[in-house]
Structure 1
Amino acid sequence: MSLPDNFVDAVYIDPGLERYRGNPLIEALPPIMDLQDLKVKLTGKVEFNPKDCYVKGHIRAHEISALLDDFFQPLSIHKQLEEKISVMIRGGYVGRNIADGSLNQKMQEGYQRIMSGATNDFRFTQSNSTAKSMSLIGCSGSGKSSTINRILATYPQVIYHQKYNFIQMPYLRIECPSDGSLKSLCLNFFREVDRTLHTGYEEKYARKRHSTEVLLSLMGQ
């Protein structure tokens, strides 16, 4: 199978925590970064040639602008933000393990015991969500988007699990619609999924003029 350029084949490593072990969706993610890893991966790659100091002023202005674009110095607040995103991504996968159907199996076995009269004290386990959320608020131009983009760039866009025939998107970055409508947000979601996975969800669902409620359900699916 020939994978698109933004796909990577899953390589599984020990995630370092018992809570994460045995879950391919977590084991296929890059290792959890410590402070040194963060400095290496987030620091901007600034290339400077001392000879550029002696070029004409109108050329030197472009060189200076390029330095500003590439420069990024990780601070303690960036480390905190990276840790929060790391916990969010991995924690969200704890309740979604493609390697085993242990929860479903336990519920099925309990159901069979109840129906056969073998037990009367069994209680069905609720599937508790492990998904987390976070807000990042700041003034326009303070570097929120550039910081988020640099952190997300440490993760592959798409991971293909050949063993399970499963496609994993560790993150999906969606722009909020200017009109603030839920329907526009849904279409932006499908558009970004299509761009990442090379699918055709936007055309498929936009053509049918689904209601907002239906589009939201399709997003969840």
Structure 2
Amino acid sequence: MNDLSPYGDNPFINALGPIRDRREMSRALLQTPARPPDIANLPYAVRLHWLMQLREMHLPRIEELRLAESLDLATRHSYAQRSPHSPEVWSALMKEPVIQPALNMPAGVVSLVGHSGTGKTEAVTRLLKRYPQIIAHDRLPNFAGKHLQVAWVSVCVPPSGRTVDLAEVLMKAWDRAMLPFHKGEPRFAHTLAQQRRYGPRMLEEWRQIASSHFLGLLHLDEIQNLFKLATLSQRKSRTNGKKGAGHHIDDYWAGLPIVEDQMLKWILSIANEWGMALCISGTPDGLNALRSRFSVSQRISSLGHHRFQPFQVDDAEFVGVFLPALLRHQYVSTPLQMSDELAHLLIELTAGIPRLLVGLWIAAHRIAFERNEDRLRLEDLMAGAKTTLAPVMPAVQALNSGNPQLMERFEDLMPDDFDLWEALGHPL
């Protein structure tokens, strides 16, 4: 235990490992692919397989490091509220579901928004995996025998947005995580085998088990699946005559129905009543919809709202980190050189979406190899955009335009003009 820690001798918190600063976290998250020693003598087919390692490259951005702090604060604080040194905490768990743990304040909520491909899901996944997921305690204060602590669970909200489907996803994720510790059949095998299922009851069953194992943080990704998002024609009719600088979030999301209202209530109770930290992530349309519903429901404590933005051509992280990393991984004898023209072209063809930047880089190499030429040209990037990236180019053009009317054509490219932090009860 670190004598400087504000949490004291809390075994749940100590098991998470030391608190890391941003420099330490950045080093832990950095992942760069190896390069072959002699590119010129490698056949093109072999070079392609080296090139595919770029998909595993991870260069942590400053917003990811801020997110790391928020998740760490939320998780550790949730355990500070549920210390095993408190007999009341154990008493409450043993008397489920009538008595709830006595919390000084709700657990923290972290929200994360970004367009598809900006790396939000990968960031949360990598950060959570910095902690052990299942921690076995041989002894705990006020408890006889061994006990398993579950530090985190991460799932995607199913496309249906129904309670029964979310409960199934949570139960299966729990059983997978606990598989090495199973004695007999998985914990939720009987419930999942039933033909007739009732979603709220399944969610409550899962929550009770998660509480008894002191779940630290629950991550719900693809939060937009909770909502019946409007179609393009519905959005146009609802916002007709209200577009432009003066538009307001309510013009888009007023009356937007959640698939099942009890789902939102249950999610809120995780942090508000049971002390588990919560991380919600999704695309701007989903987070905006959630913001409108939170604004009319109970307020909850938030520990951070993070936006994963596409790169801009003048971003220091793009020109100083990401682009140089791409340039180092050229598998041709005559590579492209750093230039303003190259930087502008890459942003124009990908709207600065990191996943598309890597995809375009790989596509350009394949075009060069098909040309049987051992050099990379700007024209190869343009050809890659017209072929491999052709299906996403309309969305890229909409993002580049910054025009809400064009962006409305794509569900996951809705304008992100509204600050979720205020809706969660903590205006900046």
Asked if these proteins are the same fold (TM beyond 0.5), I'd say yes
Aligned match of 2:8: 21
Distance across 1 between alignment mates of 2:3 and 2:112: 27
Question: Alpha-carbon deviations, 1:17-76, whole Å to 9, x = none?
Answer: 32x11211001111111122112210004222221343112221221111x122111221
Cα–Cα, structure 1 residues 95 and 33, in superposed 2: closer, same or farther, change >3 Å? same
2:34 is aligned with 1:47: yes
Q: In the aligned structure 2, how far is the partner of 1:172 from the partner of 1:102?
A: 25
Larger radius of gyration: 2
**Does residue 184 of the first structure (1) align with residue 160 of the second (2)?**
no
Determine the structure 1 residue equivalent to 2:83: 97
Does 2:126 align with 1:138? no
Q: Identify which of 38, 46, 60 aligns with 2:47.
A: 60
Could you tell which deviates more after superposition, 46-55 or 130-139? 46-55
1:98 partner SS = coil
Distance 2:61 2:38 in 1: 30
Query: CA offset at residue 99 of structure 1?
Result: 2.8
Residue 287 of structure 2: aligned partner: none
Q: Does the alignment pair 1:212 with 2:199? A: yes
Q: Distance in 2 between matches of 1:206 and 1:15?
A: 45
1:123-174 per-position Cα deviation (integer Å, ceiling 9, x unaligned): xx95334411122111111111111111112111111111132211111011
- Counterpart residue number, 1:110: none
- Secondary structure of residue in 2 paired with 1:135: strand
Cα contact 2:133–2:152 (8 A) shared by 1:
yes
Higher strand share: 2
For residues 174 and 146 of structure 1, the distance between their equivalents in structure 2, rounded to whole angstroms, comes to 13
> Aligned to 2:150, which of 142, 150, 169?
169
Q: What do you get for the CA RMSD once the two structures are aligned?
A: 2.2
Q: For residues 156-207 of structure 1, what are the alpha-carbon distances to aligned partners after superposition, in whole Å with 9 as ceiling and x for unaligned?
A: 1111111132211111011211211111101111101100012423322123
Aligned amino acid, residue 91 of structure 1: H
1:85 matched residue in structure 2: 71
Establish whether residue 152 from structure 1 lines up as the match of residue 128 from structure 2. Answer: yes
Alignment-mate amino acid for residue 84 of structure 1:
S
Cα separation, partners in 2 of 1:136 and 1:103, compared to 1, 3 Å = closer
* Structure-2 separation of matches of 1:89 and 1:98: 15
Structure 1 residues 216 and 15: CA distance shift in structure 2, 3 A = farther
Give identity over the alignment, percent: 24
Residues 52, 149 of structure 1: alpha-carbon distance in 2 compared, 3 angstrom cutoff: farther
The answer as to whether partners of 2:88 and 2:102 remain within 8 angstroms in 1 is no
Task: Please list every run of 5 or more consecutive structure 1 residues that lacks an aligned counterpart in the other structure.
Answer: 1-12, 106-124
203, 207, 214: which one pairs with 2:189?
A: 203
How far the C-alpha of 1:102 sits from its partner, in A, is 6.1
- Residues 163 and 200, structure 2, Cα contact 8 Å, conserved in 1: no
CA deviation after TM superposition for structure 1 residue 104, in Å:
8.2
3-state SS of the aligned residue for 1:136? strand
What is the identity, as a one-letter code, of the residue corresponding to 1:161? H
Match of 2:103 in 1: 127
**Distance between the aligned counterparts of 1:59 and 1:15, measured in 2?**
52
> 2:175·2:188 contact (CA, 8 Å) conserved in 1?
yes
The alpha carbon displacement at 1:214 in A equals 1.1
Flag the 1:90–1:131 CA change in 2: closer, same or farther, 3 A.
same
Structure 1 residues 108-130: Cα deviation after superposition (integer angstroms, max 9, x where no partner): xxxxxxxxxxxxxxxxx953344
Q: What's the TM-score, normalizing by structure 2?
A: 0.41
Matches within 5 A, 1:106-121: none
Amino acid at match of 2:161: G
TM-score, length-scaled by structure 1: 0.77
State the distance in 2 between where 1:218 and 1:82 align.
Answer: 30
1:8 — aligned with what?
none
Answering whether residue 18 of structure 2 is matched by residue 31 of structure 1, we say yes
Q: Which residue of 2 aligns with 1:3?
A: none
2:12 corresponds to which letter in structure 1? Answer: L
- Structure 2's unaligned 5+ residue stretches are 92-100, 141-145, 209-428
